[in-house]
Amino acid sequence: MSRVHDALRRAEQGGLPPLEAPVPAEESRTPDYLPVNGGAGPPVRLNIHGGMLGEVRLVPFHPAPESHLLDLSNSHETPAEEFRTLRTRLNHLQTLQPLHTVVVTSPSPAEGKTFTAVNLALAEAHLAESSVLLGDFDLRRPIIHNLFQIERAPGLSDYLMGQCTFPQALRRLEGMNLYLLPAGSPVKNPLELLNMRQAKALFEELPRSFNWAIFDTPPLLFSADANLLSTMADGTVLVVKIGTTTFDNVTRAMQSLCENNVLGIVANGARASELYSKYTYYYSKSE
């Protein structure tokens, strides 16, 4: 049997790998320690809040030239203003309902889902009071590690397979409260890995450490990964590209989600003239 399948079997038998360092046995009776696999095996530390985030390795913020990351500190940059608007709407929704984990996906490839996920995470992290996690859950074609020029592994797959602890799978960008969870080592069966109960437990515990956890996932119509992840997350944002995404694909994508927890649709690829006209008067007067 392959190494991946061996790791999956060990993970299922032994429970979720520790998110923190081992603790004394007498502390394992606290509510922070939750049994998995129906109570089989030793209790596992699922709580990831507190000092654990201080153990995450810092990495410099040197995005790749092709990353198209926005400068959120530039108030005159119209695309950045659009993401601040999206951030404001999501933060308002968060005051109305439990909303911390968000899947960002699209019907088909090349519609801007990764662009949206990354810049939305940057916009949320720009609010200094909150910690934000950007997770690459597209285990089929991961790209976030390339955009931020960091190592792909260890990451999500390594953690779920018990090859590393959760802090080891994370990176924190210097100078901001943005944490990165790269995809990790390549796997041949992403859906099987994401379908493990350990992945669901991770979704349940992330809000204890992060105000927002934003996940880039594969397209809805090309794999079942995003559909599965949307059932675990608090909400889903669907990204479509103007002039490219067909109405039929949007309909099929919404049907595949059963319209559950769909927070809204982001229209990517609007013409610059359509956006800049919204802010020309405001900024010309303020100057």
Any idea how long the chain is?
Answer: 287
Neighbours of 255 (CB within 10 A): 10
* The CA-based dihedral angle spanning residues 156, 64, 223, 243, taken in that order and rounded to the nearest 10 degrees: 150
pLDDT of residue 13: 53
Domain 51-286: which CATH class? alpha beta
pTM of the model: 0.79
Q: Is the peptide bond before 219 cis (omega within 30 degrees of 0)?
A: no
Among 129, 157, 131, which Cα is nearest to 145's? 157
Are 155 and 145 spatial neighbours (Cβ–Cβ below 8 Å)? yes
Torsions phi, psi for 194 (to 5 deg): -70, -20
Say how many CA atoms lie within 13 Å of 68 toward its Cβ.
10
What is the Cα–Cα distance from 271 to 218, expressed in whole angstroms?
26
* Cβ–Cβ < 8 Å for 208, 109: no
How many whole angstroms from its chain centre is CA 122?
12
Non-local CB neighbours of 269 within 8 Å, separated by 6+ positions: 112, 241, 242, 243, 244
Q: What is the DSSP string of 212-247?
A: EEEEE---TTT-SHHHHHHHHSSEEEEEEETTTS-H
- What confidence score (pLDDT) does residue 265 get? 93
With contact defined as beta carbons under 8 Å apart, do 245 and 252 qualify?
Answer: no
Parse the chain into domains and list their residue ranges: 51-286
State the amino acid at position 277 in one-letter form: S
* Token pair listed for 137: 């859950």
pLDDT tens for each residue of the chain, 287 residues long? 444 445 445 544 555 455 444 433 333 333 333 333 333 333 334 344 444 677 899 999 999 988 888 876 665 666 788 899 999 999 999 999 999 999 999 999 999 999 999 999 999 998 867 799 999 999 999 999 999 999 999 999 999 999 999 999 999 999 999 999 999 999 999 999 999 989 999 999 999 999 999 999 999 999 999 999 999 999 999 999 999 999 999 999 999 987 668 999 999 987 654 544 444 334 444 44
Distance of CA 16 to the CA centre of its chain: 19
Separation of alpha carbons 184 and 270, rounded Å? 33
